[in-house]
Structures are given as structure tokens and as C-alpha cells.
Amino acid sequence: MSWYRNTVWFVKGLREYTRGGYESASKHFNPADVEVDVAGRSFLVTGANSGIGKATAKEIARRGGTVHLVCRNKERAEVAREEIVTETGNQNIFLHIVDISNPKEIWRFAEKFQNEHQLNVLINNAGCMVNNREITEDGLEKNFATNTLGTYIMTTALVPLLEKAADARVITVSSGGMLVQKLNISDLQSGNGPFDGTMVYAQNKRQQVVLTEQWAKAHRNIHFSVMHPGWADTPAVRSSMPDFYERMKNSLRTEAQGADTVLWLAVSAEATKLPSGLFFQDRQPVPTHLPLAYTHSPPEDEEKLMEMLEEFSQKFRSVSPG
């Protein structure tokens, strides 16, 4: 069944997810949507030292926004920050070193950030695709810890700050790969059966879609969205999917093309005219399930996911003294 799902994903992607798909879709874009001044607004981008995260941060910086780069690797992050400042002339670019696979670090960062900064837009971009089952020091499977639990904690920890902001938004970078997965709450850490890193990643991305839909229901003052950037030529794709990269490298989107919808969701007035909780591709809301794919989940499973992630997250939260 795995080969069939991969084939469906691959064939569909050939048409829509490549550079050609972007170029076709972009003929219908309104450039004015993103020609905006966002000076005075604060944006936080996770995984911002390369790929789609850096491309997004750079475009926001060009538009005058204050940008908080949340990165794991200090050296690469400093290089990225310097590049963004130099290319955009925007000095309001701040760096925070956080490992999104480490829930304790995220809690500590978020609690400190709330006391020191304002925030209008959170962009959950950090992610990983680890192809062999790897357990973190906290006993968590690495993909789940980063893509699902890390995204959950970062968002829920910063919701109180976002609730205070004007035109608050949360954008999560997912993947079209989630279309081949039905939510599975019985094995969140992929400990049962053979480990397939690509399918684990796709399951995590399905979980992010469910998270977005649930958050949209719970927090009416914040606009939530989740998106698929298409297949872009990023360092993560090259390292995690080398065979795919070699096969598709001449058809992949640029990092800027992959980041386009993230930027649109983060800065345009048009994005928030659409309902909260939708899944986007190339500036358009698209279905979260393929026809006849049998990937719909009962509402109780989606609610249970939120309960389970809340339980996980609280295990790693320490109460600050005083």
C-alpha cells in the first residue's frame, strides 16, 4: 500500500507541486497583495536559517517587519541573520537559538519571549524528516518531537501573546504528503511496525492540518492557516530525500517560490478575508483530502489528538520560580 500512496503523491505532485505548477498558478496572483508595509508588526519564523524559512524572513524584512529568527544552529543562524540585514537594510532582525525537537527549550523560550516582545504573526516552519527511527534525550521520536509536538508547544505557548495583538496570525508549513495519510492517534511515536521516515513525516503533516483546524475553532481572535509550499529546492530536501532530489532537481521550485504562499498568508489583507483553519497551496484554499482516499477521521480522534499533545506538552513544562 505504501508504494501506491507514494505513486499517487508523486504523480499528483508532477502536475501541481513543481516549478511549472507554481508558474501556472502565479499567473492569477495579484502582486499588490504582498506589496505592503508591515513596519511595526512582529513576526516569528522557526527554522529560519535556510530554505523556505529564510526566504520568508527575508521577504518580511524587505517589507519593514520586525523578524525573530528561531533557529537550532547558532553559526548558521548568525550567517542567515547577517545576510537578511545586508540584503534588506532592515536592522530589526533578532536571533533566538532554540531546538524545536526539545520541548523544555521551547517552553523556556516562549515564556521568556512573552515577557520581552510583542508578536503579531507566528510562522511554524521548522521541521525534519529523519529516515531512521531516532529517539531524543527526552524519549521522543525525532520527527514527532519536531514536527508535531514542537509545533504544538510553540503555538499554544505563544497564543496568549498573540491574543493581545492586532490582526494576529499563525501559519504552519505542512506538506502535500499529508494527503496520503489518515490521522493515526494510536501510534504517535511510530513505534509499531516497520519505520518509514517519509510516511512518518506525512503523518506529522496530517497532524499539523488537524492542529490548525482545531486551533481555529478554539481561538477566534487569531487567524490560523496551514499550507503546502510545493516541491522546493531546499537544503532539507537535498539531505532528507536525495533520490527524490536527483530525480526532480530540474523541476523543483525555488525557495522564494516555495515561500510565496507563506508570505501571502503572513502579510496580505486578502488572506484573512478567508475563514480561519484552511489548507492553502499557491494562495488558494485547497481540499485536505483526495477523492476516495479514505483519509477522513472521526471528530473524536481529532479532539483526542489535542488532548494527547496537551498531556505530552505539560510533562515538559516547568513552573518558573516566583
Summarize the confidence of residues 283-297 as an average pLDDT.
92
pLDDT reported for residue 113: 98
pLDDT reported for residue 19: 85
Of all residues in the chain, the percent with pLDDT exceeding 70 is 90
Helix/strand/coil (H/E/C) assignment for every residue in the chain: CHHHHHHHHHHHHHHHCCHHHHHHHHCCCCHHHHCCCCCCCEEEEECCCCHHHHHHHHHHHHCCCEEEEEECCHHHHHHHHHHHHHHHCCCCEEEEECCCCCHHHHHHHHHHHHHHCCCCEEEECCCCCCCCCCECCCCCEHHHHHHHHHHHHHHHHHHHHHHCCCCEEEEEECCHHHHHCCCCCCCCCCCCCCCCHHHHHHHHHHHHHHHHHHHHHHCCCEEEEEEECCCECCHHHHHHCHHHHHHHCCCCECHHHHHHHHHHHHHCCCHHHCCCCEEEECCEECCCCCCCCCCCCCHHHHHHHHHHHHHHHHHCCCCCCC
Summarize the confidence of residues 165-172 as an average pLDDT.
98
Listed residue (63, 81, 202, 78) closest to 121, CA to CA: 63
- At 289, the pLDDT band (50, 70, 90 cuts) reads very high
pLDDT reported for residue 228: 94
Residue 6 φ/ψ, nearest 5 degrees: -60, -40
pLDDT reported for residue 3: 47
Summarize the confidence of residues 130-157 as an average pLDDT.
97
Q: Is the pLDDT of residue 236 over 70?
A: no
Summarize the confidence of residues 13-17 as an average pLDDT.
71
What CA–CA distances, in Å, run from 220 to 169, 284, 304?
11, 21, 21
Q: How many CA atoms lie within 13 A of 166 on its CB side?
A: 4
- At 322, the pLDDT band (50, 70, 90 cuts) reads very low
Instruction: Write out pLDDT tens, residues 48-57.
Output: 999 999 999 9
Reply yes or no on whether 245 is catalytic: no
Task: List the catalytic residue out of 17, 22, 152, 201.
Answer: 201
Q: Which residue has the higher pLDDT, 125 or 238?
A: 125
Instruction: Write out pLDDT tens, residues 241-255.
Output: 777 657 766 778 898
**What are the b/e assignments for 275-308, b being 16+ CB within 10 Å?**
ebbbbbbbbeeeebbeeeeebebeeeebeebbee
Q: Is the pLDDT of residue 1 over 50?
A: no
3-315: what fold? Rossmann fold (3.40.50)
pLDDT reported for residue 20: 85
Q: Is the pLDDT of residue 266 over 60?
A: yes
Q: Which residue has the higher pLDDT, 11 or 72?
A: 72
Q: Is the pLDDT of residue 88 over 80?
A: yes
Average pLDDT score, the chain: 92
**Counting beta carbons within 10 angstroms of the beta carbon of residue 274, is it exposed (0 to 12), middle (13 to 18) or buried (19 or more)?**
middle
Listed residue (153, 175, 49, 58) closest to 100, CA to CA: 153
Summarize the confidence of residues 28-32 as an average pLDDT.
97
Summarize the confidence of residues 163-177 as an average pLDDT.
96
- At 43, the pLDDT band (50, 70, 90 cuts) reads very high
Q: Is the pLDDT of residue 12 over 80?
A: no
